[in-house]
Chain A
Amino acid sequence: MRAYLSRRYCFSASHRLHSDAFTADQNRAVYGKCNNPHGHGHNYVIQVTVGGPVNAETGMVCDLVDLDECVQREVVARFDHTNLNFDPVFQDRVPTTENLCLEVYQLLKAGFDKAEVVRVRVEETSNNSFEYPICGR
């Protein structure tokens, strides 16, 4: 039987939303206070959903220790207490939470092979959250 397991992780990071393709006025108009020159920070919540058959011996989709280790290694250790704008992946992309969500999904998809990574949800604040990919699960 196929089931889905979700686990939530946290990291804190700063960012500034700014595009070199825009003028200073356009950046201000598009990003508002998120364009303030010295950046600002969030406590991000990463909710990772993995899916797969429930193992008959363990009763589990995957071992949580393996998932925790992977998310810690691939995501938390990389981004926690950093400035996202300095991360290599955000050199040509604005570190919006949409782009962060896509990046976290790609990192976990490539880094975790014990179950299928089916969705990543990133909460930037308790009011803003982003999910990828869109799927019925």
Chain B
Amino acid sequence: MILLTRKAEFSASHYYWNEKWTAEENERVFGRCANKNGHGHNYTVEVTVAGEVDATSGFVVDLKELKDVMEREVVGVYDHRHLNKEVPEFAKTMPTTENIAIAVWERLDRKIPGAKLHRVRVYELPDLFADYYGEP
């Protein structure tokens, strides 16, 4: 078994706001992220798949196929969008880095030919990232 990782980037805006809370609570918990006009990031997504090396091709997975799946399922949906307003899974779920990692996993799981998803890592900033391994 070997791990292979491919990166992709997208730029999007978001904000954090829990409708069950007062404005004061939202501002206390989320700070500047609670500005309802939103703000943005250049996100980097690292998708790691696990599999055996094919004896003929020498590949774990066809990188072009992986790139196409990531483009279709994630970058094409998230890039230059407002995550809260334009991406369905964040209509009711906070688009935190943790939840984006989970959402990317759910978008990619079982869609990568020949390999099993191992980890999704989402960088919101170079010094801040979240990992999801499909754990319940």
Contact = CB atoms under 8 A, between A and B. Distances in A.
B128 interface: yes
Contacts of A59: 16, 93-96, 98-99
A1 B135 contact: yes
A38 interface: no
A7 interface: yes
Contacts of A49: 131
Contact of B98 (A3, A9, A57): A3
Nearest to B33: A64
Interface string A45-86: 000010000100111110111000000000000000000000
Interface in A1-54: 1-9, 49, 54
Interface in B27-74: 29-31
Nearest to A63: B29
B5 interface: no
A63 B98 CA distance: 12
A82 B60 CA distance: 47
Contacts of B126: 8
A60 B97 CA distance: 8
Interface in B88-129: 93-99, 101-102, 126-129
Contact of A137 (B18, B20, B94, B131): B131
B94 A58 contact: yes
Given A58-B94, A59-B93, A3 B129 contact: no
Contacts of A136: 133
Contacts of B132: 1, 3-4
A94 B125 CA distance: 34
8 contacts: A1-B132, A3-B98, A3-B132, A8-B126, A54-B98, A58-B96, A60-B94, A60-B98
Given A1-B136, A57-B21, 17 more contacts: A1-B132, A3-B98, A3-B101, A3-B130, A3-B132, A5-B98, A6-B128, A8-B128, A9-B127, A54-B96, A54-B99, A54-B102, A57-B18, A58-B16, A58-B18, A58-B29, A59-B95
